[in-house]
Amino acid sequence: MTLVTDQLTSGTVAAYLAARPHLAGPVDPASIVSVDEVGDGNLNLVFIVKDAAGNGVVVKQSLPHVRVDPTWPLTRERAAREAVVLGAHERIDPAHVPGFYGFDADALALSIEDLSDHSVWRGELNAGRLHPYAAAQLGEYVGAVGFATSVFGTPGPERRRRIAEATNPELSEITEDLVFTEPYVDHEHNGWLDANADDVRELRADRAFVREMGLAKQRFQESTQSLMHGDLHTGSVFVRAEGESVRAFDSEFGTYGPTGFDLGAVWANLVIAAARAHVLGRTADAETLLRLPVQLVDAFEAEFRRRWPDRVDPRVYGDEVLEHTLAQVRSDAAVYGAAKAVRRIVGFSKVADILTLPAPKQAEAARLVLRAARRLGTARLDDSDPRTLTALTVELLG
Ligand code: SR1
Ligand code: MG
């Protein structure tokens, strides 16, 4: 049974680390000079701790509720789920996640590498700094963890144990509700501008699209294809132009699921960033952003193919299995991209890309995102080439 210690505050973190020096990473707990709570996500407390020598560590602790809605209770065990995912992903692809210094099961707190010299990709995109190298690096990350945690990368019995260890029922249910269901029904979490009412009505009346969302939800619920990040939007990615460093953080929604879900999350948020750029008159940026999913998916495939010679059981996993798997992931990426784009426009947890636009431009950008989503959402196995799909979304820029 987990013993939950007190909720940390900026005033108690230094003493907390002094009593647990193994969780301080490079920080000297005896010379801590600052502790700043910087959490700006939907769920947790995040402290950046610095010592006199300028070393830093991040301590992230779960709250017993959704941070942005204290009336919404949420298991604090999500921190333990994130520890499992981050630990596994760090072992597979340390270049693309923050360093993981340890997990305190009593306090439900993770100690993570301080990446204060990086910036959150969403903020950078909103400021007009694209960091286009990030798309291919995220593809490589999803390819690495997608292969290594799949049936091709991990022997059967070990994999079944890892699937059990990474089960994440409460946060998976949030994704199931917020991404796949709520945008298509009347729900208090939903909201849109009056100017988008017809767009939402048309989307919900698009039976082919809504059917695909149902099938996408079914695959999300049934699949244990690989250990996903689970929430790979541009607000979960740090970028730094120097050295073109890219790190995916905040994997508390991670669990085993369809590999294309993570690619779709990136794709959706690139579409959203492109819609913002377009309505602000940054047409070239919009086109660049809409084309980045090609680099994302190509890099994913390249990494998956690179690892393929090392697969478990090549006796039955021949190259036709590889081609079928990659086609399925491409198709899933597009459909999940559609689902993730719609939820940010219609459902809970809207994004700054749209919210910080003036109202008439918000409506214009939201319309563009919904139209792009409808094109991506009906992609099937045989027309899921990201080049074709990208061309379809670029067309919408007119
Ligand atoms: C109640 S959690 C709302 C959203 O925040 C996270 O970033 C996930 O995207 C989740 O759906
Ligand atoms: Mg998050």
Ligand closest to Cα of 82 equals 2
Single-letter code of the amino acid located at 50:
K
Taking alpha carbons only, the member of 293, 260, 298 closest to residue 393 is 293
Strand (E) positions, the chain? Answer: 32-37, 44-51, 56-62, 65-66, 69-73, 100-104, 109-113, 119-120, 226-227, 237-240, 245-248, 256-257
The pair of three-digit structure tokens given for residue 185, joined into one six-digit string: 């029904």
Per-residue pLDDT tens digits for 70-123: 999 999 999 999 999 999 999 999 999 999 999 999 999 999 999 999 999 999
Atom number in ligand 1 closest to CA 174:
11
130-182, pLDDT tens digit by residue?
A: 999 999 999 999 999 999 999 999 999 999 999 999 999 999 999 999 999 99
Instruction: Please state, in angstroms and rounded to a whole number, the distance separating the CA atoms of residues 238 and 356.
Output: 20
Which tens digit of pLDDT belongs to each residue from 328-376? Answer: 999 999 999 999 999 999 999 999 999 999 989 999 999 999 999 999 9
The model carries a pTM of 0.97
Ligand 1 neighbourhood includes 119 CB (under 6 angstroms): no
Q: Is 322 in the pocket of ligand 1 (CB under 6 A)?
A: no
**Looking at domain 119-395, what is its CATH homologous superfamily?**
Aminoglycoside phosphotransferase (APH), C-terminal lobe (3.90.1200.10)
Contact (CB, 8 A) for 241 and 311? no
Report whether pLDDT(5) > 80.
no
Residue to mutate (ligand 1; options 69, 170, 178, 249; most atoms within 8 A of CB): 178
How many A from CA of 368 to the centre of ligand 2? 25
Atom 4 of ligand 1: nearest residue by CA position? 349
Is residue 83 a contact partner of residue 103, using CB atoms and an 8 Å limit? Answer: yes
All structural domains of the chain with their residue ranges: 13-113, 119-395
CATH topology of domain 13-113: Phosphorylase Kinase; domain 1 (3.30.200)
Cα(382) to centroid(ligand 1), Å:
32
* pLDDT score for 1: 42
267-269-272-276 Cα dihedral, nearest 10 degrees? -120
Q: Kindly tell me if the per-residue pLDDT of 2 is higher than 60.
A: no
Share of the chain above pLDDT 70, in %: 98
